[in-house]
A and B are shown apart, each in its own frame.
Chain A
C-alpha cells in the first residue's frame, strides 16, 4: 500500500522560504507512470494545486505561484520536496503531497498533510 508522509518546518517567518518533504513508501517514486504533486488548503478554505514533478525531474507549476515555487526530487531517498519563497500570511495552510498518474490526472494517494503557519 502506497503511503506518503509530509514533513518540514511548521512555522515560517514572513519573507522566508517554506520547505517541506514528502517521503514515499510502498512504491518507487522513480516509476514513470506517476506525477508527484503538492496541494495546499488554507484554514477553512478549498484546495489549491501548487505543482508537480515527474521522476525525470520535469516540473509544472501553478502559474499563480510559479515565481516562488521549486519542486525537486530525490530518487535515492524516494522523496520529493517543496520550496516556497517569500512567504506571507496568505501561505498559511495545510500542505498535502499527492500522487497522480501521468498528467493530466486526478490524485489517488494523499499524505495526511502538514500544517504550515507563517508568522513572525
Chain B
C-alpha cells in the first residue's frame, strides 16, 4: 500500500496570506497526484491533477508542484472561500488519500 502523509494537519491563516500544504508518499508515485478541497458537509472538489495541472474553473491562485514522493499545494492569496479541508490523493497504485489538512481562519 502507498501511504500518503499530509502536513500540517491544521493550518491557521488570514485572508491574503500565502499558504503551502505538503503531501508525502511512502514510495515514488511519479506525478500521479491530485488535490481536493472539501467544504463542511460537501463532497470533495477536484483542484489539481497530475501534480500540477489546474482543473478547469479552479482559480489560478491554486497551484501544485512536486514529483516522486514530495508534493505541495500552494494558495497564493487566501480568499474567504478557501477555508476548508484539503486532501491529496495518489493514483499510482490503486487510490489512497492523505489524512487531510484543515485550513482555518487565524
A residues lining the B interface (CB < 8 Å): 37, 46-49, 60, 62-63, 96, 98, 103-108, 110-113
Contacts and interface: CB of A to CB of B under 8 A. Distances in A.
Given A37-B95, A62-B94, A106-B49, 4 more contacts: A47-B89, A49-B96, A106-B89, A108-B49
Nearest to B98: A46
Given A105-B91, A106-B34, A48 B97 contact: yes
B interface, by DSSP: helix, strand, loop or mixed? Answer: loop
B interface bracket (residues with beta carbon within 8 Å of A): 20 to 34
Most buried by B among A106, A108, A113: A106
A61 to B, nearest CB: 9
Contacts of B93: 104
23 contacts: A37-B95, A46-B87, A46-B97, A46-B98, A47-B44, A63-B1, A63-B94, A96-B43, A96-B44, A104-B32, A104-B91, A104-B92, A104-B93, A104-B95, A106-B49, A107-B46, A107-B89, A108-B49, A108-B55, A110-B43, A110-B45, A111-B43, A113-B43
Nearest to A37: B95
Residue among B43, B91, B92, B99 with the highest chain A CB neighbour number at 10 A: B43
Contacts of A112: 42-43
Nearest to B33: A106
Interface in B65-106: 87, 89, 91-100
Interface of B: 1, 32, 34, 36, 42-46, 49-50, 55, 87, 89, 91-100
Nearest to B6: A46
Contacts of B55: 108
A21 B34 CA distance: 26
